[in-house]
Structures are given as structure tokens and as C-alpha cells.
Amino acid sequence: RADCERLILTPRTEPQAAAVPADLPRLVLEESSIQYPVSSVHYPVGSIQPTVRSNQPQAIVFTSGTTGYAKGAVVTFANHLWSAVGSAFRLGIVPGDRWLACLPLYPVGGLAVLFRSCLYGTAVVLHESFDAAVRRSLHDNGATLVSLVPTMLGRLLHEGFTAADAPNLRLILLGGAAAPAPLLAEARAAGLPVAVTYGLTE
């Protein structure tokens, strides 16, 4: 049980929200198509003060983990911080990094992309889902990092995706499930740099 106090939704997600059996107060967020260029946002150093404790829970992330039965894993702000620190040591931080986020944001794999990029001060290329636009984005939007699950990588490779289709890509983080050896070999043959990883709820 997560003991949620409120359900946050948008007009587009109301059908899914209607299926939630709990009688919770609902906060409906209006969706906006307004996009702000990155160059218009400036945050002076020291202007943002922390308002949470590091050991405070940030989310309860449900994961089937090892048993197949969904369990709520409590993830704290410190968990995200130290995961980002570890990732920075392993992957490096490049000021011009652009992390393409096409995983859902409710599991840690998608959520971590946002936290890491905020902590690093680097850009996120956010996609609503994994579809044909992701491949175009890898080519056209200068993505240097992307987090995928094996099925996604397999689909890209099946479509003939190679390193030439993502000229700026420096790493694919692959997690969410075991990575089959033939898939990794196929990615290597296509010139795609892959790092096998796992998330905070695994």
C-alpha cells in the first residue's frame, strides 16, 4: 500500500484515473503545448535552495523485481543523488550532453534521467513514448545518451539502426531486464556503444 492522498492527472489520462478504485481527491493539470527554448531559462548559481531532507522519500516506485508481484520500493532523494554521482563517475559528464528520455517516467529508469540531468545541469530531450520519432530524434536532436530496455534496442536494430543514425550518441544505457548476449553482439556490430545497467528498484 502506498497510502496516497491525492491523484494527479490530465484530461488525457482521465480514463485511466477513472479505473483507480480509491476515492481520492483529484488534481487535474491542464496540458499545454507551449515550449520554452532552453536558452531562455537561467538559474543563477545559489538561487535554488534545497527544501527537502536527503533521507526523505521522493517516490514509491512499484516494481515486479524478482517475484513477479508488484512491490513498492521507497526511493529517497539521497538515492537519486548518489545514483547520479555514481553514474557521473562511470559515464562522465559532458556539458553538451542531451539525454533522450523515452522510457515512462513512473519507473526509476525514466525518472532517473530527469534527476541526473537536473543535477548535472544538462539537457533532456523528452518523448512521450517510444515510437518512430525516437529514431528521428536520435539523428536530428543531437542526443548523446539514451536509456532503453532490451526490447527497444532490439526494435531499433531490427529496423537497421546503426551508429551512423545517431552521430552524437556516446552511450546507450540498457536496463529493465536481462540483456541477451546476441542482442549485445548485434549492437556491437552496428557500432552502438551499450552499457548494461540496473535501476534503484532492482
Residue 82 CA to residue 38 CA, distance in Å, equals 26
Kindly give, in sequence order, each residue whose CB lies less than 8 Å from that of residue 157, ignoring residues fewer than 6 positions away.
183, 186, 187, 190, 192
Return the bridge partners of 88, or none: none
Strand 98-101 relative to strand 71-76, pairing: unpaired
Output the tens digit of pLDDT for each of the chain's 202 residues: 778 888 888 888 888 888 887 788 888 887 665 454 544 455 555 555 667 788 898 889 888 766 778 888 899 999 999 999 999 999 999 989 999 999 988 888 889 999 999 999 999 999 888 888 888 889 998 999 999 999 999 999 999 999 999 999 999 999 988 899 999 999 999 999 999 988 777 6
Q: Is residue 161 within 8 Å of residue 139, measured between CB atoms? A: no
Q: Is the pTM of this model over 0.85?
A: no
- What is the structure's pLDDT at 64? 76
- What is the structure's pLDDT at 70? 81
Amino acid residing at 81 = L
Residue whose grid cell is 548535472 = 120
Name the E strands within 26-160. 26-28, 57-63, 71-76, 98-101, 123-126, 145-148
- What is the structure's pLDDT at 129? 85
